[in-house]
Structure 1
């Protein structure tokens, strides 16, 4: 089995190797920080040209997850686009791909710090959303039972760092799903203060691999 199952606020969750989160009981697939159009934004603001393949790579990965799972609902929890201009620069074939992914299911865009405005690409745009016992938002707060992103966590094991989920009994922070996204080390103070001493990191890749977030936990929960 390539996924990692865990329970958050009495809800069964499944961390997928791709970096997506699946809630079987709700038929819900959640992804964070696609940052579509990042190469376009960098070119506009700095003149640095990057290979323009990140949108296709990210959406084709999402397409693979959607086809494999056939979710009833997809929630993109913020920073789906690198900025609002990136939405306008999407090529027609990528818009068509998105339209196909949305067909026959509920699609929710949660606002992030990069894309706070309305998204004219189908679906519903919200600040946050509660489904069952879980609240989906872009940036973690003190609320228990929340699913968030924003920090692009990465965890290092045996010298190699990979995008990772981090979760404990109160919350889960998803890795960045986008192809051109960087990452924040899992031991960064802003992440450390979010999680208790028993937190788990789930590395993404060919297989979702769970490991303790802290090798020698010192801080009380």
Structure 2
């Protein structure tokens, strides 16, 4: 967990960010791990916790606002954004009309200075101006930001290399049912889309 930039860069040169292959099939619910709760903010400053329903409040699972599937694309450095796009854009195209799916692209800001007010709010305002809405369907590409020290969050998810992207497909209970890394291959993208379709069919 205390790896430095040069170790991460060395790995990136070796594998292009593909630190492991994506899940080939949906992870059974009985053995799926819970995704750790993390606080995020929209560019307008509104904060909430992911996964949806992880804030400690009782959630009515018959509520249509609770997604049956959520794709989280995690980025700790700007270098991974292009990798995440190879997953999120095809995902958005495939499920753009679905009301039961959420898509979040989460950018992590670990800098102590950037996490302090008013610098944090200035940064969020800049993000709001540079990220206009891209789609008008039921499924929205939601860009959110998480500020502060994420050491224990990364430790729980076994995230070591900060230069690559991490994709997690969650079910309505916040369990990790599929994982992907780096840039998507056609086969991996197919497994993500089919796994999402299976989640939508789960009771």
- Which TM-score tier does this pair reach, normalised by the shorter chain? 0.3 to 0.5
TM-score, normalised relative to structure 2: 0.33
Where relative contact order (Cα < 8 A, 6+ residues apart) is larger, the structure is 2
Q: Which has the higher helix share?
A: 2
Q: Which has the higher strand share?
A: 1
